[in-house]
Structure 1
Amino acid sequence: MSGLRFEDKIVLVTGGSSGLGAEASRQFIDEGARIFVMDLAEKGILGRLGEEKATFFQGNVGKPEDCETAIRTCIDKYGRLDILFHNAAQPTPMTTVPFHDLAKFQEIINTNLCSLFYLARIAIPQMQKQGKGVIVVTASTSALGGEYGMASYAASKAGLLNLMRTMAIDHARDNVRINAICPGYMPTPMTEGLGDLINVVQESIPQGRGGDPKEVARAALFLASEDASYMTGHALVVDGGWSAHSGAPNLLKYVPQQVSRQ
């Protein structure tokens, strides 16, 4: 035995050309998997992963026909689908509901939430046929509570979590496990638009920094592996303590500190 957790496993990664998706793809390959990447653009991912270990499919997860074609193409090529890591998402415009463009709201809900439905309705029957399978979904800490100016993104990610939970209990006895990761802030192409606000965001994180995509990818691979064999319907938070904070100000900054007796 090689000791690799994903030896000869077939993994379909959406949004796999950059950021967290690309890092997870690399880690899956390092642990023995073959990768089928679905994204809007290739962005040189095959050169980084190696064409002998990865296949690229250009498609939009917001289109049901693209989702179905991607999964069926993956199965036609490799004969199976062991793991679906659904990571693709679209960022939100920072605005309040009265000023949020209606078409953009519907687009974000479709891309971030409905896409899981489009993919799962094709992937789950294949996994049932195989006798087992795993789906891991990238949600967000935005799914766990309201966030200023992020109505469409927060709504899409919160819906994603309950869709994940419902599918998990529906298919638990089919030996299909379905879980989610909830990352906090990470420096990825999707968060580059924050500009100077990145410092404000990082200051609000108890660990004082954003997450490295490598750290978050390791959490996704854990859920995809047999190490998490008794976990389904779970949302694993990876956020440096961000969601553990109640939102109260840090009064320790203003209160004289006692000297340790040790």
Structure 2
Amino acid sequence: MGSIVPVPITPQRFAGKIVFLTGGTGGLGAATCELFLAEGASVFVVDLHAHDIASKLSKTLHFQKCDVSDPVACEEAVRACVAHFGRLDVLINCAGRVGPVTDVPGMPVEEFQKLIGLNLGSVFYLSRVAIPQMIKQGGGAVVSIASTSGLAGDYGLCAYNAAKAGVINLSRAMACDHAKDGVRVNVVCPGYMITPMSAAFETQPDMYADLLDGIPQGRGCDPKEVGRAVLWLASDEASFTTGTTLVVDGGWGARSGAPKFTKYM
């Protein structure tokens, strides 16, 4: 049996590492970008809009506009990252959108295809270019953001449910295929996060109260709480972790779906 080599824990876990991050100009992506930069990484951010990232660009932070639902644009962006920084060590697939709340008959075909392309297709398009680059370098890590919506069904989120479930199983398949190459592939499934994308929840007081009541910790998640899980999976501290799905949801998924008996009895 081989010996276990301890991995030192330092505040600069990503010094010298190059991170390619999608959806990095807002919400969870922006929070995760900040965490990587604070731990010594250089980050190549792609998104459809620059937002306020333009004022933060530096030697260690680069931005390129990219539609990650376009396979050609994804390939060009990965090539640009390698040309700019010289390598690619970590791929973080964070771009995504929930889409309209409707059942299958009410979902326009074009909208379904767009949501699958953005939430699931982008993971495939980027991984197929990034992983060979990582293998050339001796290994790397891929971490994709799925959702608790990829673990169970939701009312009215048929496309989002399908896409996020696909991200989880695609990641498992890639983990199996590329463990021998030194490339680890994992998934983070956030529950309810307090981001601009979820701000609409707070405009429905009854629904919002019901939502929080269903979370054992009784609150929404700060994006950095999810971001720290992403960083751990991307770091050498998770060297024997691949093909896993890490749920960060305040205990939401631990419930059986039964009524909150302690509230009524």
Shorter-chain TM-score range: over 0.9
Aligned equivalents of 2:238 and 2:209: distance in 1? Answer: 35
Aligned equivalents of 1:145 and 1:116: distance in 2? Answer: 20
Aligned equivalents of 1:235 and 1:242: distance in 2? Answer: 15
- 2:93 is the counterpart of 1:83: no
- 2:18 is the counterpart of 1:6: no
| Residues 17-72 of structure 1: CA deviation (Å, up to 9, x unaligned) | 00111011100000000010000001112424x42220001011100011001100
> Of 47, 50, 55, which aligns to 1:42?
50
Aligned equivalents of 2:260 and 2:125: distance in 1? Answer: 43
- 2:149 is the counterpart of 1:139: no
- 2:182 is the counterpart of 1:172: no
Kindly provide the amino acid, as one letter, of the partner of residue 152 in structure 1. A
* TM, length-normalised to structure 1: 0.94
| Residues 207-230 of structure 1: CA deviation (Å, up to 9, x unaligned) | 111110010000000000011000
User: Could you tell me which residue of structure 2 aligns to residue 54 of structure 1?
Assistant: 61
Whether contact under 8 Å (2:24, 2:94) holds in the other structure is yes
- SS class of match (1:252): helix
Kindly provide the amino acid, as one letter, of the partner of residue 10 in structure 1. I
- 2:239 is the counterpart of 1:229: yes
Q: How many residues align?
A: 254
Aligned equivalents of 1:92 and 1:226: distance in 2? Answer: 35
Alignment of 1:178-257 (within 5 A): 178-194=185-201, 195-196=203-204, 197-255=207-265
* TM, length-normalised to structure 2: 0.93
Offset of residue 78 of structure 1: 0.9
Whether contact under 8 Å (1:46, 1:54) holds in the other structure is no
Kindly provide the amino acid, as one letter, of the partner of residue 146 in structure 2. A
| Residues 129-178 of structure 1: CA deviation (Å, up to 9, x unaligned) | 00111000000000111111110000000011000000000000100000
Change (3 A) 1:16 1:101: same
Offset of residue 3 of structure 1: 5.0
- SS class of match (1:171): helix
Whether contact under 8 Å (2:139, 2:181) holds in the other structure is yes
- 2:112 is the counterpart of 1:102: no
Aligned equivalents of 1:225 and 1:150: distance in 2? Answer: 32
Structure 2: unaligned runs, 5 residues or longer: 1-7
Offset of residue 190 of structure 1: 1.6
Structure 1: unaligned runs, 5 residues or longer: 256-262
- State the superposition RMSD in angstroms: 1.3
Aligned equivalents of 1:10 and 1:218: distance in 2? Answer: 17
Aligned equivalents of 2:199 and 2:16: distance in 1? Answer: 35
Whether contact under 8 Å (1:40, 1:58) holds in the other structure is yes
- SS class of match (1:179): strand
User: Could you tell me which residue of structure 1 aligns to residue 78 of structure 2?
Assistant: 71
Whether contact under 8 Å (2:98, 2:157) holds in the other structure is no
| Residues 186-241 of structure 1: CA deviation (Å, up to 9, x unaligned) | 01122123332433322221111111001000000000001100000000000000
**Runs of 4+ deviating beyond 4 Å:** none
Whether contact under 8 Å (2:144, 2:187) holds in the other structure is yes
